[in-house]
Amino acid sequence: MAHDDISPSVLKKLIGYRFRHKGLLNVALTHPSCGKDRESYERLEFLGDSILSSLLAEELYLRYPTKSEGDLSMYRTALTNGRFLAELARELQIVPLIRMQAVVNPQQRDSIHENALEALVGAIFLDSRYGKAKKVVLKWYEPFGERLEKELKRSNPKGRIQELICNLQPSAVLDYRLIAETGEDHERIYSVALYCEKELLGIGSGSSMKTAEKNAAFHALEVIFQRAKLQI
């Protein structure tokens, strides 16, 4: 769908923020398929990805003072995974506003919707700076605790990979192997490889074996679904 212009007032009703600099808004919702004569959202997506990660890290740190680094990392991963962000973009109804010339197959849609949402975060940050961006974005996540709980249940990578492998290869056995330990004793980093029989499925690292295993499982899921051209 192509658009000549995007109204800040229309978007404000959807995302709760009115842009002062309309150019940032237009770029944030312009897909690269629109051509070299139009700046696309790619650079803003890069910025927005970092801003979103930062503001969620801060919010999680403040909300959950007794949780470990590993738990906080897992929470942030659940709230920034591509599938969740794509769903959030659709919930905010920004998808019809994305300027795009290419015909997109279903496997690409989630990625585009995720990218546009991250680009909007980057654009809001540049238009207003960090404090305002955080306030706006966190409203998208409300009710925060309920969303987090739901996503944690949906994004249990170890359980999901186990279920998937059982369906594909009922007799197969998953094996998490410690392949490296680095850092000082108080800042230990563990690296784990996940094997199914003799096949390497994924590798993950973390400050605990539990976190490393979860990250290895998540990597394995990404690899498997990419091969099958499915969505996580």
Place of tokens 């997506």: 45
| Half-sphere exposure in the Cβ direction for 200 (13 Å, CA) | 8
Place of tokens 């940050």: 125
Q: What are the CB-based long-range contacts (under 8 Å, 24+) for 158-167?
A: 158/213, 158/214, 158/217, 160/217, 160/221, 161/194, 161/201, 161/217, 161/220, 161/221, 161/224, 164/221, 164/224, 165/196
Using CA atoms, how far residue 28 sits from 4, 102, 147, in Å, is 14, 17, 25
- In this structure, are residues 206 and 219 in contact, taking their beta carbons and an 8 Å threshold? no
Report the catalytic residues.
Answer: 49, 118
Geometric angle at alpha carbon 157, from 67 and 57, rounded to 5°: 35
